[in-house]
Structure 1
Amino acid sequence: MKWTGVIPAVTTPFEPSLAVDHNLLFQHTSWMLENGCTGLVMLGSLGEGATLEHDEKVAILKTALRASEKTGTPVVAGISSLSTAAAVRLAKEAEDLGCAGLMVLPPYVYSTDWREMKAHIAAIIRATKLSCMLYNNPVAYKTDYIPEQVKELAQEFPNLHAIKESSADVRRVTAIRAIIDDRLTICTGVDDAIVEAVAAGSSAWIAGLVNAFPAESVALYELAMAGKHQEAFELYRWFLPLLRLDTVPKFVQLIKWVQEQTGTGTARVRPPRLELVGAELEEVKAVLATAMANRPAVKSTPFPVLQQA
């Protein structure tokens, strides 16, 4: 597993019945990989993992693995659950299926002290030999893995290779690097901080709006990594209003709506989420209209006509 490049946090498409739409999922993931993405992160927050049953999660991983066969790119399983036992079970199954890595989340709902959170994370990492990425998102999960705790985990677990840093504080990148150097790859998990995070030492992007704009996302990342500041800024300026959709509570609804409007997915979400209405819908309509009227030279390839997977 190489934690590098632009790795989409993949949305989960649903049929009108709200069953998982595996045909669309196959087409969508294949298309993003063909547009330069370097892997797939399944079952994360953007993938509505909390609304998926265990068997659905396994089926989604199987579909992603089939889609990745052509390019040989890795599939990462998001590991999250209400219980440690359920998280460990999914981690083991992901390894058996052929996933290349795990994105390890804190437990849903329950957020407590370092002793308990460390025990949860440790049980998952110990359960497999897969390369693991710790997911730190204190805004969403109310558990904050501070740099000193990250160092402790890195020292104890050889197969912990990366951290998805989503605190939205780019200073965390330099703080982590200051105490563990390059022991972990730092992946940015907040779309509208990618250029700043790369400048601070992040070397991968677990991205959201990439679900609708993969080539544009890859181009922005590559410009930032190459230190082409002016070119990166010009593309960033166009992209930022869209990237900020990834940073608000209804980011799932917003990104899926953008996918529907760009012909790269559907807006369907599982309750308790509901599709956008009213002022929120009008606001995102204006954001997307401006973006589409001023598209940059780099563009993703047209989304393929949906075929049987």
Structure 2
Amino acid sequence: MNLSGIIGYPVTPFSHDNKSVDLNKLGKVIDVLLKAKVDAIAALGSAGEAAYLSESEWKQVAEYTVKYVDGRIPVVIGVAQLTTEQAVNYAKYAYEIGADVIMLSPFSYYKLNEQEIYSHYESVSNSTPLPIMIYNNPSTCGVDMSPEFMLKMVDGIENATMIKESTGDIQRMHKIYKLSKGKVPFLNGCNHMALEALNAGASGWCTAAPCLIGDQPKQLFDAVKKGESEKAKTLFYKQYEFLEFIVSSGLAAAVKSGLALQGNEVGGPRKPLLPLNESAKNRLKGMLAELV
């Protein structure tokens, strides 16, 4: 399975004391994404605060998401563990509960070399038949993989089938497209360069934006794919300030604040992350008033 279109990222709602996951509210967030016409749902990425969840919480969110979506669209489960053993265990669990794709990040404390990264991905691939999305996001994972190296993994590792590129460097997407002759699907993980990425051949856009602005990202994707360049440009620049804001303010904090402003309270982010301050909330409120 290779993904295309808008891959929506739900936040993970917490209880009022932030000590547990609120699965009922997670269902409401998933409903918002489904209403926004996303083409797949990717739980437990950075927007879902996966790094701040215990193993039991991670499993609760993964299982609930798969069951709640119930085959309506594909479900991607993010795996970003420090050790290969942990990553393998999480990947096996994703397969057991019926996920469709694993989004695998080489999360690291020590700087990993390419041999170590390759071995990590290969071990996960050997543990489950699920397709693997190679996720390059050095700002959160501490590991930066070149287009050449990621394509080497796609070529040599059986289940590594697609790439999510989140560095914000459009040249990397051009390289992936050129070096693979357009045959390896890649997805954009950088919100504020969505238009450039889609025009560069990205098969999809991974974003939490539909949590707050409905199907506007989907409209942009469709306009690009239909060759409606002026419409696509208009749609993108309408969203641009908002897309940049939610990234620079922290995805979890921004999206959760936005949902609360829209009457969908899902709790705040988990410390050390902090909610948006009043100034940022007011700015977000103004942007949403213009967009929704």
Range that drifts further, 120-129 or 191-200: 120-129
1:6 aligns with 2:6: yes
The 2-side partners of 1:289 and 1:132 are apart by 39
Give me the whole-angstrom Cα distance separating, in 1, the residues matched to 2:156 and 2:3: 20
Equivalent residue, structure 2, for 1:95: 95
Any conservation in 2 of the 1:132–1:162 contact (CA below 8 Å)? yes
Matches within 5 A, 1:112-123: 112-123=112-123
Match of 1:274 in 2: 274
Instruction: Give the match's secondary structure for 2:61.
Output: helix
Q: For the residues of structure 2 that align with 1:8 and 1:261, how far apart are their CA atoms?
A: 20
SS of the aligned residue for 2:6 comes to strand
* Residues 1-309 of structure 1 mapped to structure 2, 5 A cutoff: 1-18=1-18, 19-69=20-70, 72-248=72-248, 250-277=250-277, 281-292=278-289, 294-295=290-291
User: Which runs of 5 or more residues in structure 2 are unaligned?
Assistant: none
Amino-acid identity (%):
25
TM-aligned CA deviation for residue 250 of structure 1: 2.5
Contact 2:249 2:276 in 1 (8 A): no
With structure 1 as the length reference, what TM-score do the two structures score? Answer: 0.89
- Aligned residue type for 1:8: G
Q: CA deviation at 1:141?
A: 2.0
* Letter in structure 2 aligned against 1:289: G
| In structure 1, C-alpha distance between the alignment counterparts of 2:81 and 2:66, rounded to whole Å | 22
Specify the SS of the correspondent of 2:162: strand
Deviates more, 1:210-219 or 1:43-52: 210-219
| Distance in structure 2 (CA, Å) of the matches to 1:112 and 1:157 | 18
Measured after TM superposition, the shift of residue 267 of structure 1 is 4.8
- State whether residues 168 and 190 of structure 2, in contact with CA within 8 Å, keep that contact through their aligned partners in structure 1: yes
C-alpha RMSD of matched pairs (Å): 1.7
Q: Distance in 2 between matches of 1:116 and 1:133?
A: 18
Moved more, 234-243 or 257-266: 257-266
* Aligned-partner residue type, residue 163 of structure 1: I
Q: Is the Cα contact below 8 Å between 1:161 and 1:183 reproduced in 2?
A: no
Q: Is the 8 A contact 1:166 1:189 kept in 2?
A: yes
Give unpaired runs (5+ residues) of structure 1.
300-309
AA matched with 1:147? P
Cα shift at 1:186:
0.7
Match for 1:206: what amino acid? C
**Greater Cα offset, 260-269 or 73-82:** 260-269
Distance 1:227 1:267 in 2: 40
Kept after mapping to 1: 8 A contact 2:108/2:143: no
Tell me, yes or no, if the aligned pair for 1:154 and 1:183 is still in contact at 8 Å: no
Q: How many pairs align?
A: 291
- What is the Cα deviation at residue 177 of structure 1? 1.4
The 8 Å contact of residues 242 and 287 in structure 2, kept in 1 or not, is answered as no
CA distance, structure 2, for counterparts of residue 157 and residue 260 of structure 1: 42
- Check whether the contact 1:125–1:160 (CA below 8 A) recurs between aligned residues: yes
| Cα shift at 1:263 | 2.8
Distance in 2 (CA, whole Å) between partners of 1:16 and 1:284 is: 19
SS across alignment from 1:212: helix
Give the TM-score taking structure 2 as reference length: 0.94
Change (3 A) 1:160 1:131: same
CA shift in 2, pair 1:45/1:290, >3 Å: closer
CA distance in 1 between counterparts of 2:60 and 2:284 reads 34
1:210 partner amino acid: P
How far apart are the structure 2 equivalents of 1:89 and 1:153?
Answer: 21
Q: Answer whether contact 2:165 2:187 (CA < 8 A) is retained.
A: yes
Tell me if the contact between 2:46 and 2:251 (Cα under 8 Å) persists in the aligned partners.
Answer: no
What is residue 302 of structure 1 aligned with on the other side? none
